[in-house]
Amino acid sequence: MKRLLMFAAVCVLTALVATGGQGQEKKEGGDQEEKAGPKDNIAPKGFALLFNGKDLEGWQGLITLPQRAKYKGDELAAKQKDANEKMLKHWTVKNGVIHYDGKNNNLQTAKDYGNFEMWVDWKIETKGDSGIYLRGNPQVQIWDNKEGSGGLYNNKKHPSKPLVFADYPPGKWNTFHIKMVGDKVTVHLNGRLVVDEVPLENYWEKGSPLPKKGPIELQHHNDPLWFKNIYIKELPD
């Protein structure tokens, strides 16, 4: 009987030690991956910070283009206030990185943009899914998929798939360079051309031209996400 009790105690202790060690290892690994470096979040010449590396100044909770058209004045302000309060519980900044827990909605710029160039670093987990909305319309695709990221996923008439697969594995940082002039979008992923002056179609009003300006959005798709090094340069109309 004593041997059985001693054996059970050893098993429990071993399990506790193993569990504790695994948790610490996972936590330390995550902290290392999510920490911005000393050269991160410093805008290149000619670009402005869209993310300042400290907080979510310049960003807001999601109000879609159709909602903008529906709500006006005080009602729109109240909707925005509610969206902001909910957003701040799920989109956070730690160690110079934007982190999303996958439980809210898109993160949206407070300012609208027309023609522009932008840089953005992003990271997803295995089977992760996200995207970059341009002028409030989806999207430059981000996902863990054999097709690859960077395509204009929601296009129906124009090309929607990337020219090449250029993704780094899940858990690694990827870099988009996106240029938008008129309705035409060019995307480089990790230095490789994946979209070459392809028109982005109007998702909300099928067949209509894109709005001349709209917000940039980091897409919610129920998955944890990480972003840093978000820079923008506005271009002439």
Each residue's pLDDT tens digit, 147-157: 999 999 999 99
Whole-prediction pTM: 0.86
**Average pLDDT for 9-34:** 38
Query: Distance between CA atoms of 168 and 39, rounded to whole angstroms?
Result: 20
What's the gap between Cα 123 and its chain centre? 8
Residue 107: pLDDT over 70: yes
Name 31's Cβ contacts closer than 8 Å, sequence gap at least 6: 95
Query: Distance between CA atoms of 104 and 89, rounded to whole angstroms?
Result: 8
Flag the least confident range among 2-11, 57-66, 145-154, 223-232. 2-11
CA quadruple 8, 12, 14, 16: dihedral, nearest 10: 180
Query: Distance between CA atoms of 56 and 188, rounded to whole angstroms?
Result: 26
Phi, psi of 212 (to 5 degrees): -70, -30
Residue 206: pLDDT over 60: yes
